[in-house]
Amino acid sequence: MPEPIVIPNIRMITVSGRIAAGSTTLAKNLSNKLNWKHMEGGEIFWAAIRKETGLAEKDTNLRPDQKDLLFEKHQKELLESGKDIVLESKLSGFVANGIEGIFKILVICEDDGSDQPQIRIDRLLNREGISTESAREEVLVREKNDIEKWRRLYGNGDPNWVYWDKKYYDLVINTFSHNQDEAFAQALEALKIS
């Protein structure tokens, strides 16, 4: 396996974004380019929780709070000690704030500052080959359940708190106006990688 590419002062990259905004594609592309490990936080941790509890992905609101807090504790430990990892999860950029050596990327799908859920639903439909209803439920219901719980746990109950607040990130990439190749090029430019 080729040696990992060294980026001065950056030992990990987080990629966060709303469902089907394009964070998975970007994280995989960065991982391949840099020869860094790609880790998808939700896939690693929540698969075990779903199996244990019998809950669907959209059932964030039914998960015990201690499971979410445990996941964020593990994620923070990884962020504090990890190296040569592209960590993709919704909350990874938020959790990484204040930790040295982390470059935080947010992927959005917005037109004039407004999220485009229908585009994200269409992307999920095409990517997963699921029904329109399933895609709508994934994007709208799961996201609503996620944000309601996380506002309570991490946003001190602030009704306006969102993990996709641009203030938490070093780079924001809009996939409404950039295709996946352009988004990737934008990330490489910000990281000063040719």
Question: 12-189 adopts what CATH topology?
Answer: Rossmann fold (3.40.50)
Give 44's pLDDT tier (boundaries 50, 70, 90). Answer: low
Give this prediction's pTM: 0.91
Distance in angstroms (rounded) separating the CA atoms of residues 68 and 53: 13
More reliable by pLDDT, 59 or 126: 126
pLDDT at 47 over 90: no
pLDDT at 108 over 90: yes
pLDDT at 151 over 70: yes
11-37 pLDDT, tens digit per residue, is: 999 999 999 999 999 999 999 999 999
- Which among 31-35, 131-135, 156-160 has the top mean pLDDT? 31-35
pLDDT on residue 63: 77
* Cross-strand bridge partners of residue 85: 12, 37
Q: Is the dihedral of CA 48, 36, 188, 9 positive or negative?
A: positive
Locate 47 and state its tokens.
Answer: 């698969």
| Sequential DSSP letters for 122-190 | HHHHHHH---HHHHHIIIIIIHHHHHHHHHHHHSTT-TT--TT-GGG-SEEEETTTS-HHHHHHHHHHH
Can you give the residue ranges of every domain in the chain? 12-189
Q: Taking the CA of residue 44 as centre, how many other CA atoms within 13 Å lie in the half-sphere pointing to its CB?
A: 12
Distance in angstroms (rounded) separating the CA atoms of residues 129 and 134: 10
Distance in angstroms (rounded) separating the CA atoms of residues 103 and 142: 27
